[in-house]
Amino acid sequence: MRLAAREAALGRRQSELESKQRGLAEEAERKRTEVAERGQTLASRERELAAGERKLQASTSALDSRAKQLESREAELAGRLEQLQTRTEALEGERKEELDAAAAASKRELAEREQQLKAASADLDKRRAALDEQKRSLDQRVKQHGADSEELKRKGAQRARRLEEKEAALAARRKTLDEAERAARERERLLEEGQTELENRQRSLEQERELAQQEEQRARTSAPTETIDTALAERAAAAGGARAPRKRSSPGAWNLNTLNRLIRERGSEFPERCEEWQAYAFHLRDFADPWGQLPSSFDALVADVFDPIA
Question: How is the chain classified by DSSP, letter by letter?
Answer: -HHHHHHHHHHHHHHHHHHHHHHHHHHHHHHHHHHHHHHHHHHHHHHHHHHHHHHHHHHHHHHHHHHHHHHHHHHHHHHHHHHHHHHHHHHHHHHHHHHHHHHHHHHHHHHHHHHHHHHHHHHHHHHHHHHHHHHHHHHHHHHHTTTT-HHHHHHHHHHHHHHHHHHHHHHHHHHHHHHHHHHHHHHHHHHHHHHHHHHHT-S-HHHHHHHHHHHHHHHHH---SHHHHHHHHHHHHHHT--SS-SS--SEEEEEHHHHHHHHHHHGGG-HHHHHHHHHHHHHGGGGS-TT-EEEGGGHHHHHHHTTTT-
* Separation of CA 129 from chain center: 48
pLDDT for 292:
94
Q: Within a domain: residue 28?
A: no
Nearest CA to 222 among 101, 119, 99, 112? 112
Q: Within a domain: residue 280?
A: yes
What end-to-end distance do the CA atoms of the chain give, in Å?
Answer: 162
Q: Within a domain: residue 299?
A: yes
Distance, CA of 103 to CA of 167 (rounded, Å): 39
Q: Within a domain: residue 127?
A: no
Distance, CA of 201 to CA of 80 (rounded, Å): 23
**Cβ proximity of 264 and 306 under 8 Å:** no
Q: Within a domain: residue 289?
A: yes
Q: Within a domain: residue 220?
A: no
- Along the 310 residues of the chain, how does pLDDT read in single tens digits? 788 888 888 989 999 999 988 988 899 899 889 878 988 987 888 899 788 788 868 877 886 888 688 588 878 867 886 885 888 687 677 877 885 886 677 688 867 877 885 886 677 688 888 768 887 875 777 477 555 557 746 876 787 688 688 778 767 777 876 786 786 587 777 657 757 765 766 665 666 666 555 555 444 444 445 556 666 666 556 655 444 444 445 788 999 999 999 999 999 999 999 999 999 999 999 999 999 999 998 999 999 999 999 8
Nearest CA to 310 among 287, 280, 285? 280
Distance, CA of 175 to CA of 132 (rounded, Å): 19
pLDDT for 246:
42
Total domains present in the chain: 1
Q: Within a domain: residue 309?
A: yes
The domain in which residue 304 lies consists of 250-310
**Cβ proximity of 217 and 274 under 8 Å:** no
- Condensed to tens digits (0 to 9), the pLDDT of residues 200-256 reads 666 656 666 665 555 554 444 444 455 566 666 665 566 554 444 444 457 889 999
Model-wide pTM > 0.85? no
- Condensed to tens digits (0 to 9), the pLDDT of residues 183-192 reads 658 777 765 7
Q: Within a domain: residue 310?
A: yes
Those residues with Cβ within 8 angstroms of residue 115's Cβ, 6 or more apart along the chain or in another chain: none
